Amino acid sequence: MTTPHTEPSGTTPAAPGVRSWLREHSELGVGLLLLVLGVLVLTDALTMNVDITQRGPVGPKTVPVVVGTGLLVVAVLLSLDVLRGGRGEAEGGEDIDLSEPSDWRTVLLLAGVFLGNAVLIGPLGFPISGALLFWGSAYALGSRHYDRDPLIAAVLSLVTYFVFDNLLGVPLPGGPLMGVL
């Protein structure tokens, strides 16, 4: 007669069948996350106060309701697929050596660039802080073209500013360049 295996702390581990089933169906976690996000988006959209005079044919609730409904549909379809035996394919295109340590320098540089953009966008405006964001991100990710990168960053920032401010009607802070642009 065999005795059940106990952990060093004296507790009996979860049944191997349950642990293996959860491991084989781990994508259900993604389905659960999508379900929770869908419910949150729909709840927020449906409880939104909208003045009847502000509504047009497509009101401010339309896009969040569509997105929330889409999240729920994808969550259900993904969960059904996983329960029927479907599995996501392992990504084969990445050339990553998992034995190498994380590159914390790059992570910290990118975090600093994003934080700096958040702090500087008010006083400097988007064209300048955006150029610093684009150039700093390129530098953090390894680009060392000191003559080309700032020019590309400035062009990207100005194009982004004009598209959002003039074409889409989303006002971005212009900063000291407000009168010039």
Region of 169 (left: φ > 0; alpha: ψ -120 to 50; beta: rest) is: left
Per-residue tokens: 76: 């259900």
pLDDT string in tens for the chain (181-residue length): 555 555 555 555 556 677 777 777 788 889 999 999 999 999 999 898 876 656 566 777 888 999 999 999 999 999 999 888 887 776 666 667 767 888 899 999 999 999 999 999 999 999 999 999 999 999 999 999 999 999 999 999 999 999 998 888 888 999 888 877 6
pTM for the complete prediction? 0.53
User: 179: which DSSP letter?
Assistant: T
